[in-house]
Amino acid sequence: MHPAYSVIFFTTASGAGYGALIWLAGLAAGGALPADRESGIALFLAALGLVTAGLLSSTFHLGHPERAWRGLTQWRSSWLSREGVAAVVAYLPALLFAAGWIILADNSGVWIWAGIVAAVLAVVTVACTGMIYASLRAIPRWTDPFVVPVYLAFAVSSGGVLVLAIAALFGTDPGLAAWVAAISVALAWILKLVYWRRIDRAKPVATAESATGLGSIGTVRLLESPNSSANFVMREMGYVVARKHAARLRLIAAVLGGVAPVLALAAGSLIAGYAAAAALLVALAGIVVGVLIERWLFFAEAQHAAMLYYGARTV
């Protein structure tokens, strides 16, 4: 599949934003973050800013962005529509949570409940994002049961690193929370490694023979493409990343996005002040780059069944 930058940015940015909301609710409920006004503004600006930027960027690739509201109507059948509805609904409790924290300097009692509802809706929204892909049978590797857990795990882990880094900049040492974040990062990459292993070993679902129905005659090969230059389907679905490059990129992603942040978070938990903040910023930079590469590969490695009509042997 063609790795469109708007979709990569949307899924990573809004994922981190929703993950940050989940962490803010969790930390507030655990009494681990003071309802400090300045840090509150920075934290919610980052969380809701990323969510909003992601959602806006996802409308940029639409042919008719001005009709985007229509996308909220078909939640009965469409995961994309469900994602849109969940995203819009999640703003209500998230803004209440932010208002209590920033305006009233209170993140306890009823405001925590707003945060918890926001966190639940954040999980629902990210799960819907994953289901958009996991429901597409035409892209067999995306229907893997690990797709949705991986989306959730990267949202939570990247959001956690983001929240802890900002909190550390405002003087809250991460302490134990850094270990929780490190475990969430490690868990996300373990899920991803399992997913990669599964797609590498998956048996083909469809073949050039089943796509044409000519398998009873023998092996099917494309002799002539219907068009001399590329068409829409080839542009959109025909992107193939070389296996050799994919293997190298997987390694780079796992080291920058997994190993480096876990080490930096471990270091951050042991030190305090700006040194801890610096360690957490290193962790944040690592996971941002790692998740961007991971998301790029998610698209670039996915093979679409329609390409069986354009020379692909199996998908």
Partner 1 sequence: MTSLSVSPGSKKLGLVIDLDICVGCHACAVNCKEWNTGGHSAPLTDEDPYGSEPLGVWFNRVHTFEAGSGAEGRTVHFPRSCLHCEQPACVTVCPTGASYKRERDGIVLVNADTCIGCKLCSWACPYGAREYDYADGVMKKCTLCIDRIENTNLSEEERVPACVSTCPASARHFGDLGDPESEVSRMVDARGGYDLMPEMGMQPVNKYLPPRAARKVTPRAADTPGKPQEAPVTTGSAFLDWVDRMLSR
Give the binding site for partner 1 (CB under 8 A): 1, 61-65, 67-68, 70-74, 76-81, 84, 132, 135-139, 205-206, 208, 210-233, 235-237, 304-310
The residue type at 275? A
Q: Per residue in 217-231, is it b (16+ CB within 10 Å) or e — as a string?
A: eeebeeeeeeeeeee
How far is the C-alpha of 50 from the C-alpha of 13, rounded, in Å?
5
User: H or E segment at 62?
Assistant: none
How far is the C-alpha of 125 from the C-alpha of 128, rounded, in Å?
5
**Shortest Cβ 72–partner 1 spacing (Å):** 8
Is 166 or 312 the residue whose CB approaches partner 1 more closely?
312
Is 85 or 249 the residue whose CB approaches partner 1 more closely?
85
Is 112 or 237 the residue whose CB approaches partner 1 more closely?
237
**Shortest Cβ 227–partner 1 spacing (Å):** 7
**Shortest Cβ 53–partner 1 spacing (Å):** 18
Is 69 or 274 the residue whose CB approaches partner 1 more closely?
69
How far is the C-alpha of 188 from the C-alpha of 309, rounded, in Å?
35
Cβ(27)–Cβ(33) below 8 Å? yes
Torsion, Cα 50 51 52 58, to 10 degrees, reads 100
Is 124 or 168 the residue whose CB approaches partner 1 more closely?
124
Instruction: At 167, list the tokens.
Output: 């909190």
Instruction: At 158, list the tokens.
Output: 């990247």
**Shortest Cβ 315–partner 1 spacing (Å):** 9
**Shortest Cβ 206–partner 1 spacing (Å):** 5
How far is the C-alpha of 42 from the C-alpha of 260, rounded, in Å?
25
How far is the C-alpha of 18 from the C-alpha of 115, rounded, in Å?
11
User: H or E segment at 259?
Assistant: none
**Shortest Cβ 230–partner 1 spacing (Å):** 7
How far is the C-alpha of 116 from the C-alpha of 25, rounded, in Å?
6
How far is the C-alpha of 115 from the C-alpha of 96, rounded, in Å?
8
The residue type at 100? G
**Shortest Cβ 194–partner 1 spacing (Å):** 24
Is 73 or 108 the residue whose CB approaches partner 1 more closely?
73
Is 68 or 275 the residue whose CB approaches partner 1 more closely?
68
